[in-house]
């Protein structure tokens, strides 16, 4: 029953279009907040708030590189999330169109 509760909370979190899109972007490669802001055409505080929720749910990791924090997926132990992300259209072309790295 506890696993069902955890899955339910995770799916509720991913029911938000912005967070689901962030997961789809991070499926392609780790990104910093400024990359995500550019790709989603949103504000930095908005992106950070959504990333904080994903991080607190254990779905993303943070890695500091210099002054920037990069986010990556943390779903190795969540096959049901891997399965969902397998059905999400790839956003790789959108990432490839981005200037090398918005954070520099």
First-last CA distance in the chain: 46
pLDDT for 98: 83
Q: How many CA atoms lie within 13 A of 12 on its CB side?
A: 8
pLDDT for 58: 96
CATH topology of domain 2-93: Arc Repressor Mutant, subunit A (1.10.10)
Break the chain into its structural domains and give their ranges. 2-93
Yes or no: say if 34 and 48 are a contact pair by the CB < 8 Å rule.
Answer: no
Q: Residues 76-101: pLDDT tens digits?
A: 999 999 999 999 999 999 999 886 65
């Amino acid at each position: 029953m506890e696993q069902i509760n955890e899955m339910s909370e995770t799916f509720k979190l991913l029911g938000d279009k912005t967070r689901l899109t962030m997961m789809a972007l991070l499926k392609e490669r780790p990104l910093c907040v400024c990359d995500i802001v550019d790709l989603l055409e949103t504000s930095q505080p908005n992106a950070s708030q959504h990333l904080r929720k994903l991080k607190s749910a254990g779905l993303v990791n943070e890695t500091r590189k210099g002054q920037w924090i990069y986010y990556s997926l943390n779903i190795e132990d969540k096959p049901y999330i891997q399965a969902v992300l397998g059905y999400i259209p790839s956003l790789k072309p959108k990432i490839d169109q981005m200037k090398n790295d918005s954070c520099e």
